Amino acid sequence: MKFHSNKALATDPSLAPLFDTLSSYRDQLGSLAHQTDYLQPESSIQLPGDATLLKKIQETAERLHSPTLQYVVIIGIGGSNLGTQAVYEAIAGSMHLLVDRLPKLLFLDTVTDEKMTAVTRVIEHLTHKEDFLVIVISKSGTTTETIANMEVLWNCTTKQFGDVRERFIFITDEASKLWNAAKEHKMETLSIPTQVGGRFSVFSAVGLLPLALAGINIVELIEGAQRAVADGTSAKMSNNHSLVSACLTYLQLKSGRSIRNTFFFSPKLSALGAWERQLVAESLGKDGKGIMPIISIGSTDLHSMAQLYWGGSDITFTNLVFSFTGAVHRVSQHLALPGLVQHISGTSLEGIMQAIYAGVKAAYEKSARPYVEIDLEQADARELGYYLQFRMIEVMYLGRLLDLNVFDQPAVEMYKSVTRDLLESMHVR
Ligand code: PA5
């Protein structure tokens, strides 16, 4: 991954004091990353270096991957599914359901008849129970949507195949009710280290098991994350993109730009955007503070949001994220309807996108709106591992700068408990 900020941002004299403020925390993260004791709130930084975990996931995936496995249904929401979906869609593509690639990951997050019907129809067409797996992921083990979806799918698959216990895997906290219930019913469980919160858990079993089952190279994913840990705890600022990005974002926030727009120039990165939005919003939106993370997809959103970005209030700091990986399709030299758009004959779709990207950068310069650039290069497992870890460490630095605990989510818990109370009163009636 390459991180680039223009000269005006990179030479801001306010940056150096911020680097100094964060230096002892940076060193603390660096020494934490070399252990696997999972004792601190920042323990997610230890996951990429945990060789025992990696081996366990590889062995589990190999054992669960029957030769006829076609669908792996992931039941989980928020931090329990977004990281997996981000990596999966970035690699399998935004049209992954149409692509000839098995096994496919299917995601059930919110409670909706529409999604559940689609998943149960797909499973109804399967002949053997070995053709599917369900991975139920919940850190707390009591998230209403996740448990309700699990129960519905359990019921459907039991009616069809009889005993489906070995087709359901549970990933949860060892202290959770879900863990105990699954154990009691002799079902397979994998744990999430207690100190690793949902949105920081993508490199635990939460992300690694489903991604390994989907055939994604989790060794490369982890290697990318390890590299981001080394860079993100380095005293060499030209390597430490997490720290630099945190300080730039903080300075923009202080100068009134409370919105951060991450502008991904590829539809296959939109799930990565959803993961990032949750990480930033849930970690930093508290105590009356926060950064409003928004996600845009290029070039689609140029036709919906660009006017506001370059002509509206100057309240947004933009991160342009791109991955130009090589051309497949080209506009023919012999146009079907010549004369409509100049100079596209013979040009690849990728080449057109690169021209659009250059136009976007020029518009940011011309409108004097601040931005940085992130080149995801091949957007392969290694690069994605780097990006995910880079953002998680960045958020930890931002938490320090904003004096916030990035690891809790008290406001989210408010809705969860009210929902449970309402369900209880509805049930009584
Ligand atoms: O990041 C988080 O902690 C949250 O987004 C949770 O992942 C989300 O609320 C789901 O909770 P749980 O994993 O406990 O089911």
Q: Is the CB of 81 under 6 A from ligand 1?
A: no
**412 close to ligand 1 (CB < 6 Angstrom):** yes
- The residue whose C-alpha atom lies closest to atom 15 belonging to ligand 1 is 138
Domain of residue 15, residue span: 2-30+221-411
Residues 50 and 24 in one domain: no
Longest dimension (CA), the chain: 70
Instruction: Indicate whether 424 belongs to any domain.
Output: no
Q: Is 352 in the pocket of ligand 1 (CB under 6 A)?
A: no
pTM of the entire predicted model: 0.96
**Beta-strand (E) ranges in 265-361?**
292-297, 316-322
* 87 inside domain: yes
Question: Is ligand 1 within 6 A of the CB of residue 196?
Answer: no
Sign (positive or negative) of CA dihedral 193, 84, 284, 286: negative
Q: Is residue 188 domain-resident?
A: yes
pLDDT of 411 reads 86
Report the candidate in 78, 126, 134 with the shortest Cα–Cα distance to residue 105: 134
The pLDDT score that the predictor gives to residue 79 is 97
> Ligand 1 atom 9: the closest Cα is on which residue?
78
What separation in Å is there between the alpha carbon of 180 and the centre of ligand 1?
19
Residues 109 and 195 in one domain: yes
What is the predicted pLDDT for the residue at 226? 98
Q: Is the CB of 80 under 6 A from ligand 1?
A: yes
Query: Is 140 close to ligand 1, i.e. is its CB under 6 Å away?
Result: yes
Predicted pLDDT at 428 = 60
Instruction: State whether 241 and 366 are in the same domain.
Output: yes
**Residue 80 CA to ligand 1 centre (angstroms):** 6
CATH number of the domain within which 324 lies: 3.40.50.10490
- Express each pLDDT in 155-200 by its tens digit: 999 999 999 999 999 999 998 999 999 999 999 999 999 999 999 9
**Nearest CA owner, ligand 1 atom 3:** 198
pLDDT per residue of the chain (429 residues) written in tens, 0 to 9: 999 998 889 899 999 999 999 999 999 999 999 999 999 999 999 999 999 999 999 999 999 999 999 999 999 999 999 999 999 999 999 998 888 888 999 999 999 999 999 999 999 999 999 999 999 999 999 999 999 999 999 999 999 999 999 999 999 999 899 999 999 999 999 999 999 999 999 999 999 999 999 999 999 999 999 999 999 999 999 999 999 999 999 999 999 999 999 999 999 999 999 999 999 999 999 999 999 999 999 999 999 999 999 999 999 999 999 999 888 999 999 999 999 999 999 999 999 999 999 999 999 999 999 999 999 999 999 999 999 999 999 999 999 999 999 999 888 878 878 888 888 888 765
Ligand 1 geometric centre to CA of 107 (Å): 15
User: How many other CB atoms are there within 10 angstroms of residue 326's CB atom?
Assistant: 7
Residues 3-55: tens digit of each pLDDT: 999 888 989 999 999 999 999 999 999 999 999 999 999 999 999 999 999 99
Helix (H, G, I), strand (E, B) or coil at 264: strand
In this prediction, residue 410 carries a pLDDT of 87
- CB 296 within 8 Å of CB 276: no
> Hey, which of 84, 140, 171, 204 would you mutate to test ligand 1's pocket, going by the most ligand atoms within 8 Å of its Cβ?
140
Same domain, 119 and 9: no
Domain count within the chain:
2
